[in-house]
Amino acid sequence: MIEQYIPIFLVIGVSVVFSMAVIASSKLFGPQRPDSEKLSTYESGMKPVGGVRERISIKYYLVAMLFIVFDIEVIFVYPWGVEFKKLLGEQGISALVPMIIFLVVLELGYLYVYKKGGLKWD
Amino acid sequence: MELLIQAGIALAKILIVITVMLLTVSYLVYFERKISAWIQNRRGPNRVGWYGALQPFADVFKLLLKEDIVPSNANKFIHSLAPFITLFVSFATYAVIPFGPDIKLFGRTIQLALADVNIGVLYVLALTSLGVYGLTFAGWSSGSKYSLLGGIRSSAQMISYEVSMGFSIAGVILLSESLRPMAIVESQYGFMWNALIQPIGFITIVVSAFAETNRLPFDLPEAEPELVGGYHTEYSSMKFAGFFLAEYANMIIASAMIVTLYLGGWQFPYIDKFGLSMGLTAGIQVLSFLLKMALVLFFFIWVRWSIPRFRYDQLMNLGWKVMFPLSLLNLIWVAALIMIFNI
């Protein structure tokens, strides 16, 4: 069973080495002549106004929270999806009922967010 | 000993796949420039090599010889970590993509996939979610407002579309009864392609793939007129090349996943009825996988040069108010199909 995963670990190892080599090669071959003007933010453009680490619109956080809720919902659907045909053979139509209840509960939440304007982006 | 041989075969397959992939990535860039030139009635690159065929290599060598600039305002470690994560994720995802049937060589059965594990689809989903970190870190660590806005936009966009992508994949799993990529391909025998059985899911996954790979019409993270280069504004030399490579590698993965999940993978309809030899059959199947992938990639490029960019609010509305309910509808559609027609 575990030997199935050997190629995956090998691929992960090879891609780590390869990506590191790409990043390292940027220091190896190019010239290195830094000066303070060249290292300034957005060099050769306008001087930036204000700081960078400032507050970000709340909407992004809202999207992140909604994502967590609905992505976990997806993960709960997968095991049911794998077993669905088997359950249908054993229990008939009642294989569908628990999942419908689960989805309806979540879609009520979705409709609530929708009505409250949580998905509105202006 | 047996384990060593297995590891040797695996390593050989990995080296072949990585080489082929690097070549395809560089030529994908070339073909994108050529096709865009044809669409806009220009000639495109035609100076380096035969019809400009050596242009990708010239570009890589140029970037290799450029100075690597890390802005003094940047967080140095995360600034280098971000392209690493992005590259690593896009290369490691190749591990589970099946590109052909099992073949017999020197008395052993060799699978034409790097690894065929029963968590294949989950592996792809997990790694593509990790890809968000690369872009967010790049945006945050650069110490520039353009980068920050690009990074935040891209992470919000990717997580919005990941939900509908997950649901459209659930429709496929209902039919294949497995998360193993090979089983998903085998469940689409003949013309039982998922794109024909569940067209809504096919549309949602294609749209989500555009958003996940940050391609036009959804390339808000790097919208040039407003955000300069987006999250890679402050990158240069091979770190920039890393982002560039990863973007095209992600395109190839997205098309490979669309082909595997929805377009029958490496299957050529009813080829086992033709009575061809086993080697020939396998060859045709691998070729048909590559051809389908090339068609999807061409579609990616075609759309990029035909459709203008969305506004950010339109993008988020499309993701949450259209794609999400549609992908849910697709799931119910598939469940109903299975119950009524027993497929």
Chain B CB within 8 Å of residue A30 CB: yes
For tokens 């091979």, what's the residue? Answer: B238
Q: What sign for the dihedral angle of Cα B309, B310, B315, B318?
A: negative
Complete DSSP assignment for B140-174: HHT--HHHHHHHHHHHHHHHHHHHHHHHHHHHHHH
Regions in chain B scoring below 70 on pLDDT: 107, 220-227, 343
Chain B CB within 8 Å of residue A74 CB: yes
Structure-token pair, residue B154: 């891209």
Q: What angle do CA B36, B129, B328 make, to 5 degrees?
A: 85
Q: Which amino acid is at B219?
A: D
Structure-token pair, residue A66: 């909604």
Q: Which residues of B touch A66 (CB under 8 A)?
A: 320
Q: Which residues of A touch B146 (CB under 8 A)?
A: 42
Structure-token pair, residue A23: 């990043």
Distance of CA B294 to the CA centre of its chain: 12
Largest distance between two CA atoms of chain B: 66
Distance of CA B152 to the CA centre of its chain: 21
What's B311's DSSP letter? Answer: P
Residue B225 has a pLDDT of 66
Q: What is the mean pLDDT of chain A?
A: 83
Residue A2 in this model has a pLDDT that exceeds 80:
no
Residue B255 has a pLDDT of 92
Q: Which residues of B touch A21 (CB under 8 A)?
A: none
**Mean pLDDT, range A58-86, rounded to an integer:** 86
Cα separation, B322 vs B31, whole angstroms: 32
8 A C-beta contact, residue B122 and residue B179:
yes
Residue A32 has a pLDDT of 82
8 A C-beta contact, residue B109 and residue B151:
no
pTM: 0.89
Residue B291 has a pLDDT of 92
What's A47's DSSP letter? Answer: P
Chain B CB within 8 Å of residue A2 CB: no
Which positions ≥6 away from B336 have C-beta within 8 Å?
none
Which positions ≥6 away from B281 have C-beta within 8 Å?
B101, B271, B272, B274
Residue B258 has a pLDDT of 92
Residue B135 has a pLDDT of 87
Of the candidates B253, B268, B263, the one whose C-alpha atom is nearest the C-alpha of residue B300 is: B253
Nearest CA of chain A to the CA of B51: how many Å?
28
Q: How confident is the model over A80-118, as pLDDT tens digits?
A: 888 888 888 888 788 888 888 988 988 898 899 888 887
